Structure 1
Amino acid sequence: MARTSSTTPATGGPSRKGIFAASFVGTSIEWYDYYIFGTAAALVFGTAFFPDADPTVGTLAAFTTFAVGFLARPLGAAVIGHYGDRIGRKSMLVLTLLLTGGSTFLIGVLPTYAAIGIGAPLLLVSLRLIQGFGVGGEWGGAVLIATEHASPKQRAVYGSFAQFGVPMGVLTSNLAFLAVSGLDDDDFQAWGWRIPFLLSIVLVVVGFLVRSRLQDAPEFQEVKEKKEVSKIPVAELFRRQPRTLILASLASIAPPAVGYTVIVYMLNYGTEVVGFDRNTLLWLILASTVLWIATIVVAAVVADRIGSKKVFIVGALTAVIWPWPLFALVDTGSAAAALLGFSVAALVQGIMAGAQGGLFTEIFELKTRYSGISIAYQLGGMIGGAVTPIVAVALYDAFESSTPIALYVAALSLVSLVAVLGIRVTSSTGRAADVPTSAATARR
C-alpha cells in the first residue's frame, strides 16, 4: 500500500488542506448563522418580537422560537441525508449553505412586532424553520466529506474538521455582536442587532466558492457507479441499524446540553440574575472558545490512537460532573470565576467534539451513513440544545435557584454517557454490531 503524504488523504482526491477548508469553512458559516440567532434570542428578540409579554414570558417565547429550529433539524437530517446517500455529499452541502445563509440574511431585514404586529413573530418562526432544516443536513455531510477521504487511522482527525465549525461559529457570532455592542440600547434594539444577520450573505458567498470545488470520496463514488445506492436510505437505516441509531442519538445529547447552557442561556442568566454586563459575558464566552478549539485538536489526535469511543466517554463523564461547579462559579459574580467555569465547559465540549465525527463515521454503514449520522446528531441536538434554555428559564422561575438547572444538564449528560457505553464498534470499517453479519458480508 502506498504511503500517505501529510497533505493528501489515503483515498486520493483533494488535498488535506482542501478537505479541511470545505468542511471547516462551510460549517463555521452555518453555525455562525445559527448562533447569532441564539444570541439575539437571549438579548433582543423578546422585546423586538414579543413586546407585550411579561419579561419572563417574552424570554421564554424568544427561546421557544430558537427551539423551533431544532424541530426542523431532524426533518432536514432525514431529507437531506436521504439525497446525500443517493446523490452525493457535495450537492447537499451546497444546498444546506444556501438554505441556512439565505434565511439568516432575511431575518436581518424582518420588520418587528411594532411594525406589522403578529406577522413579525410568524415570519421569524418560518425563517427559523428553514434555517433549522438546512442545518439538519449540514453536520453529517461536512463530517463525511472529510472522514470518507481519510484512512481508518485518521478518521477522528478528519472528522474534527467539521467540529471546528461549532466553536468558530460561537467565536464569530460573538465578535459580530461585540462589534455592535458599543451602541446604546435604543440603537442596538432598533437596528444594531440586524448587522450580524446581514453580514452572513458575505460568508455564504465565500462558503459557496469553497464547497463548489468539492469531490465526493472514491468509496462513495464507487457505490454510485455500481448502482448500489440505497433506494430509501432512512428505511434501510431503521431496518438494519436501529440500535446504533438510538444509542448515537442519545450520545449526542450531552454536547449541546452543555454548549447551549453556556452560549445561549448564560447570556440571559448572567445578565438578568447574576448582574453581569452583556459585553463582559460575550468576551468571557469568546475567550473560552479558544480552549474549545484547542481541545478538539488534542481529543481528535488521541481518539485516533486509543479509539474515539474511549475519548467520548471521558467527555461525557466530565459533562455529568461539571454543571454544578459551572453555575457555582458564575453565581459568584466574578468575571475570573465565570471564565474558569466557561473554560472547563469548553474543554468538556471539545473532548466530545474531537471524537464524535470519527466515532459516528465508524458505526454506520456507508450506504446509509449520511442519514444515520445526521439524524443521530440532530435528534440529540433537539433534546440537548432546543429544550435546555427553555427548561432552564422555567426551572429558575419556579425555584429561583441554579441547582435544579445544573441537575437537569447533568441528567442529560448521564443519558449520553450510558448510551455511548452501549455503542459497539466491531471493526476498522465501522460495521456496527447490530448489522446482520451475513448481509454485510454478502454485499462485499
Structure 2
Amino acid sequence: MGFWTPDQDRLRHRAAVVSFAGSMLEYYDFFIYGTAAALVFPRVFFVDVDPATATLLAMLSFGIGYVARPVGAVILGHFGDRIGRKTVLVFTLLLMGGSTLSIGLLPDAHAIGRAAPIALTLLRLLQGLSAAGEQSGSNSLTLEHSASGNRAFFTSWTLTGTQAGAILATLVFIPVASLPEGELLSWGWRIPFLLSFVVLVVAYLVRRTMPETPAFSAIKSKQAVARFPVLALLRDYWGDVARVIVCALIATVSTVTAVFALGYATGRFGVPRTTMLWAGVLANALALLTQPLWALLADRIGRKPVFIGGVLGCAVMIFPYFTAVTSGNTTAIVAVSLVLSGLIYAAPNAIWPSFYAEMFETRVRYSGTAIGTQLGFLAAGFTPVISQSLVGDGRNGWIPVAVFIAACCVISAAAAATARETHAVGIEHLGKRLQKIGP
C-alpha cells in the first residue's frame, strides 16, 4: 500500500464530500421524476386513457429510464475505465441537469397532444443514461482514494448523497403537492424540475476540481489501461457481474416504497400526499445517520454479514410496511417507514458501493460496477409497473406485491452469500485472482 500521507488523507475526505454532493444533486433530479410520475403525470401527460391506465403508463415511463441505464453503463463504463473517473462524472451531471430542466419546460398533452408523452419518455431515457454512470463513477472515485481499513465508510457517502437527494426532492415537492389541484397540474409541478438549473451549476462547480484517483493514474502511467474494458470485464469477471446483477435486486425495495406505495396509498386508501412524502423524508433523514454506521461496522466485520442481514430484514419488514400503509394511520406509516427504509434498507444501501466495487480490479471497476448494477436495477425500475399489475382489490390486495419484493430480497441475499469477503484485502489485490493480460 505504501505510506499514507496527509495529502492523501485530505483527498479521501474530499472525494467522499464530492461524491456525496454530486450524488445528492444529481439524484435530486432523478427522484423528482418518480414523485411526479406517482402524483401528477397521469393527469398531465397521459390524458386520453382511463385513470388506471394513465397511472400504469406513468409508472412505465418511470421504468423506461432504467432501460437506458444498461446502455449508459456500457458507454460510460468504457470511458470511465479508459479516460478516467472525473471527466465522465462531470458529463453525467451535465446530461442529467439538462434533461431534467427540459422536462420542466415541456408542454403538456393538452398543448401538444401525443407528442408530450413521447418527448417525456425520451427525456427520461436521457436521465437514465446519466444515472447509469453516476453512482458507479462516484464509488470508484471514492474507493480508489480510500485506505484499506475504511473503504466501506467513505464509499457509503455516495449512497448517503443519494438519500439526501431523495430528501431534497421530496422537500421541494411537499409545498408543491399542497397547491390547489388546478395550480398543481398547470404549473406547480414544473417548479422542482426548473430548480434543476441550480442543481446543475452547483454540482458542476463542486465536481470539476476533483483530481483523478491514484489507482487509475497508476495503471495509466504503466499503460495498463484496458483498450476495451467491457471485453476484458466479460471475459475475466463475468461471474462477478452476474453476482452484482442478482444482488442489485434489493433496489426493488426502494422503488416500491418511493413510487408505487406513494400512488397506492394516496389513490386507493385516501392517505394524504403530504403524509407519504413526509414519511419518506424522515426515513431518508434517518438513513443519513444509519448508513455511515452500517459502513463502519462493515469495515470491522466484513461486507457480507451486514449486506445479507439487511436484505433479509427487508424481506420480512415489507409486510408490516404495507399493512401500515393501507391502515391510513399516520403514526404507523411513519414508524414502519423509519424502520424499513431508515434502518434496515440502509444496511445494504450503505454497503453495496464497496461490496460490488471490490469484486473488480481497477482497470474494469467502473464498467463492472456500472453494468452489474444497472442490469440489476432494471427490476427496480419496473417494480412500480409490476406492482401495479400484481396488486389486487380490497385492503389486502398488496400481498402479491409484498411477496414479489420479499422474493427479490431472498434471491439477492443468496447471491451475496457466494461472494468473496474483501474488507481486509488491499486495493491493489482486489480482483487479482482473475487478473489476465487483456484487450
Q: Which range, TM-score by smaller chain? A: over 0.9
Contact 1:81-1:374 at 8 Å conserved across structures? yes
Q: For residues 13-412 of structure 1, what are the structure 2 equivalents within 5 Å?
A: 15-254=11-250, 256-346=251-341, 347-383=343-379, 385-397=380-392, 401-412=397-408
Q: Residues 243 and 434 of structure 1 are in contact (CA less than 8 Å); yes or no, is this contact kept in structure 2?
A: no
Q: Which moved more, 1:176-185 or 1:47-56?
A: 176-185
- Distance in 1 (alpha carbons) for counterparts of 2:288 and 2:63: 25
Task: Check whether the contact 1:41–1:63 (CA below 8 A) recurs between aligned residues.
Answer: yes
- CA displacement at 1:358 relative to structure 2: 1.4
C-alpha contact 1:291 1:343 (8 A) present in aligned 2: yes
Partner SS state of residue 252, structure 1: helix
Cα distance in 2 for partners of 1:230, 1:284 equals: 46
Q: Give the drift of 1:432.
A: 6.5
1:81 is matched by which residue type in structure 2? G
Give how far 1:397 is off: 4.5
Q: Cα offset for 1:54? A: 1.1
Q: Secondary structure of the residue that 1:111 maps to in structure 2?
A: coil
Structure 1 residues 4 and 270: alpha-carbon distance in aligned structure 2, compared to 1, 3 A threshold: farther
Secondary structure of the equivalent of 1:15? helix
Q: Determine the C-alpha separation between the residues in 1 that align with 2:357 and 2:61.
A: 31
Cα distance change, pair 9–352 in 1 and its aligned pair in 2 (3 A): farther
Alpha carbons of structure 1 residues 76 and 216: separation in structure 2 relative to 1, 3 Å: same
AA in 2 matched with 1:428: V
CA distance in 1, matches of 2:415, 2:288: 25
Separation in 2, partners of 1:65, 1:183: 24
Separation in 2, partners of 1:377, 1:158: 19
Counterpart code for 2:48: D
Quick check: 2:360–2:431 contact (8 Å CA) kept in 1? no
Give 1:422's match in structure 2, choosing from 414, 418, 422: 418
- Match of 1:343, SS state, is helix
CA distance in 2, matches of 1:342, 1:24: 23
Cα distance, 1:149 vs structure 2: 0.4
Q: Secondary structure at the match of 2:367?
A: helix
The 1-side partners of 2:48 and 2:122 are apart by 21
> Contact between 1:174 and 1:286, CA under 8 Å: does it hold in 2?
yes
| SS in structure 1 of the partner of residue 64 of structure 2 | helix
Alpha-carbon RMSD: 1.9
Report deviation, 1:37.
Answer: 0.2
Q: Secondary structure at the match of 1:214?
A: coil
Give the superposition deviation at 1:237. 0.5
User: How far apart are the structure 1 equivalents of 2:261 and 2:268?
Assistant: 10
- Report the alpha carbon displacement of residue 423 of structure 1 after superposing the two structures with TM: 1.1
Between 77-86 and 386-395, the greater mean CA deviation after superposition: 386-395
Q: Provide the rounded CA distance (Å) in 2 between the counterparts of 1:265 and 1:9.
A: 43
C-alpha separation between the residues in 2 aligned to 1:3 and 1:38? 42
Structure 1 residue 20, shift from structure 2 partner: 2.3
Equivalences, count: 434
1:260: Cα distance to partner?
0.9
Query: Given the two structures, how large is their TM-score scaled by the length of structure 2?
Result: 0.95
Give the C-alpha shift of residue 31 in structure 1.
0.9
Q: Measure how far apart 1:380 and its partner are.
A: 1.6
> Which stretch shifts more, 28-37 or 395-404?
395-404
Unaligned runs of 5+ in 2: none
Task: Letter of the 1:30 partner, please give it.
Answer: E
Q: Deviations over 1:416-438 (max 9, x none)?
A: 0111011124660365679546x
Q: CA deviation at 1:3?
A: 5.6
Query: For residues 348-386 of structure 1, what are the alpha-carbon distances to aligned partners after superposition, in whole Å with 9 as ceiling and x for unaligned?
Result: 221012211111221111110000011111112111x21
Partner letter of residue 157 of structure 1? F
Asked if the contact 1:160–1:354 (Cα under 8 Å) also holds between the matched residues in 2, the reply is: yes
Structure 1 unmatched ranges of 5 or more: none
Kept in 2, the 8 Å contact 1:240–1:435? The answer is no
Q: Deviations over 1:264-306 (max 9, x none)?
A: 1111011011211111211111111111111111111001111
Give how far 1:63 is off.
0.5
Instruction: After superposing the two structures, state which structure 1 stretch, 217-226 or 102-111, moved more.
Output: 217-226
Q: Aligned pair in 2 of structure 1 residues 432, 213: CA closer, same or farther (>3 Å)?
A: closer
Q: Distance in 2 between matches of 1:436 and 1:114?
A: 56
AA in 2 matched with 1:126 = L
AA partner of residue 17 (structure 2): A
